[in-house]
Amino acid sequence: MHPTTVNRASLAPVTTILTPAERVRVDAAGEGLYTAMHRDSIDDVIRDLKERHAAAVLVSVTRCEPRDATRVAMLVREFPRVPTVALLTDLESNVPSSVLTLGRSGIQTLVDVRQPSGWRRLRDVLLADQSRDINRLALAQLSIDLSGVHPDCWRFFEVLFGLPCGVGTVRSLACYLGVIPSTLMSRFFRAKLPAPKRYLATARLVRAAQLFENPGLSIANVANRLDYSSPQSFGRHVRGLIYLTAVEFRQKYDGEGMLQRFREDLVLPYLVTLRDFSPLATLLGRSHES
């Protein structure tokens, strides 16, 4: 197994609708795991999903009323890749009906924290969903494809998928790797591998494809989240790389499908070369090379 060297210290944001007492307990339970953004309406939660990159939704059973069912159902339907979890902290007279309301709205996970073990389960639920993040899936699959490669080669792929939002330019990639951009590009060229820029651009589309699995995210939302200058820029990027419009791309690929294309285009045909490819070690001893 390759050692993980990329810092993943940033905490996942979780948007919530909770009672004041529940907010305090959820904050304490999530210390070091997630950052809770406490809201008072479903509209505010949806805004967090679109604009603040919320990774999960936590809804108090005691805060859910029948009039909220339609909005909750819409949230679950429009953001299927984002887990929506119901939280049960107390057994009041209206709780059974509220649980049924949430169930009819499409929420499939209920965590009962009236016992201490419930808080552990809540953390497990949120962490389990994070494990399905496309970056983690990519690293897991690539660690198999690239088993036995030089640590320098693995470091390149780990940086591609090991940062939450990825890296957008060869210059920033080279900075993370500690090399000169022109030298890095030269190494790939001499090895007859695709250019680093192509690896970067395709990895970015892998992340875009998973985001598009949420119908509630528009092309503009996804373009903004991945730091494109505009939806038009994102569209040009997609067309230039895989000859599809942004709409066609959304219809054709999900995250895992685009990851498979990344492997088929940029990894599997070059396995023999990649197994002996060391883009950094030689550079460390020849930092004067441009």
Is the CB of residue 15 less than 8 Å from the CB of residue 57? yes
Tokens found for residue 222: 């996804």
Model confidence band, residue 270 (pLDDT cutoffs 50, 70, 90):
very high
| pLDDT at residue 283 tops 60 | no
Tell me how far apart the alpha carbons of residues 27 and 57 are, in angstroms, rounded to a whole number: 14
Least confident of 36-50, 115-129, 142-156, 221-235: 115-129
CATH topology for 12-130 is Rossmann fold (3.40.50)
Between the CA of residue 239 and those of 113, 202, 247, 250, 284, what are the distances in Å?
A: 48, 12, 10, 12, 37
- The pLDDT assigned to 194 comes to 96
pTM above 0.85, yes or no: no
134-284 classified as CATH 1.10.10.60: yes
Structure tokens at 261: 């294309």
Q: Report how far residue 61's alpha carbon sits from residue 15's, in angstroms, rounded to the nearest whole number.
A: 15
CA distance 218 to 237: 16
Choose the weakest-confidence range: 10-24, 31-45, 66-80, 126-140: 126-140
* 86-107 per-position pLDDT tens digit: 999 876 656 777 787 788 888 8
Least confidently predicted of 7-16, 34-43, 153-162: 7-16
**Average pLDDT, whole number, for the chain?**
86
How large is the average pLDDT for residues 120-146?
83
What's at 89, amino acid-wise? T
Give the pLDDT of residue 94: 63
Is residue 128 very low, low, confident or very high in pLDDT (cuts 50, 70, 90)? low
